Amino acid sequence: MSATEPTSPASPIGSGTAKLPRGPLVLGPRAFGVDEMVVMAIVNRTPDSFYDGGANVELAKALAAVDRAVDDGAGIVDIGGVRAGYGRTIDAAEELERVLPVVAAVRDRHPSLVISVDTWRSEVARKVVAEGASLLNDTWAGADPELIEVAAQSGAGVVCSHTGGLGPRTDPHRMRYDDVVADVIATVTTAAARAVRAGVSPNSIVIDPTHDFGKNTWHSLELSRRLDELSATGWPVLVALSRKDFIGETLDLPASDRLEGTLGATAIAAWLGARVFRAHDVRATRRVLDMVGAIRGTQPPKTVRRGLA
């Protein structure tokens, strides 16, 4: 089996070069169709968040943010307790103090919402799935190999990501790839196939090129330009584009002023086949995806009156 070509769900460890058939994405209480584009709302309980600066540290504010995200059209909420970049060391106990109460409360408030937790630690993963999380967003590419075992044992889904070999909370420095897209595809599809062999359902695995992680701005732009190559693997593609540094550097703008750049990149990613969109600005992202879906012909307009009255 080629590292860039995952086998089908019917034969997850077999030989051959068949692409993975496109199918529904099944995460806990929800099954998302092959043409359904899903917003994953970001809710971080981190006082040093690069964008909101700790707006959701208080539990009540975090829950209010989840409620708004649901009202604005999110199908998944991604809860984080540790800043992705450099910062004060946060151990597993403190991470759990931040994320576990949110998971438990959100499961009661929104029974049909998919709860994702942004963690690389199997210790954290084990406890959050027990409280109702159904997706483990491992943005650090298997730094803790036992996290996949937690997903397999619990029935949770998992995000397979790419960091170019960097460990958790490490910023890139002069990263080089012969072909960044080929490297990403090889890494994430190999990880996805490994997850299937461990017992994770193929319908609950998502791949993420992981813009900015282990990459400079040129790399992230090329990934955005060639995202259809990741979609062609058949695995559902998640993109985390929201207000990221590659957008800021492209437009020379701070995080607070990157919405238009984010939405432009989102529209292109949607057109090229991405299915899950991690976003701070849920309502705007949802509207962009609905417009792309209507142009693509996979969903109807919400109303049609012009020229028909």
Active site residues: 244, 278
> Tokens 């490297």 label which residue?
183
Which tokens in the block code for residue 292? 């792309």
Amino acid identity for residue 99 in this structure: V
Residues 6+ apart with CB under 8 A from 81: 44, 45, 46, 90, 94, 95, 96, 97, 98, 99, 118, 119, 124
Backbone angles phi, psi at 137, to 5 degrees: -90, 90
- The CA-to-CA distance between both ends of the chain, in Å, stands at 57
Cβ atoms of 240 and 211 within 8 Å: the answer is yes
Using alpha carbons, select from 281, 230, 157, 262 the residue that is nearest to residue 6.
Answer: 230
Backbone angles phi, psi at 160, to 5 degrees: -100, 120
Cβ atoms of 125 and 119 within 8 Å: the answer is yes
Rounded Cα gap, residues 118 and 43, in angstroms: 10
**H or E segment and range at residue 205:** strand 205-207
Cβ atoms of 189 and 6 within 8 Å: the answer is yes
Cα dihedral 189, 192, 198, 202, rounded to 10, equals -120
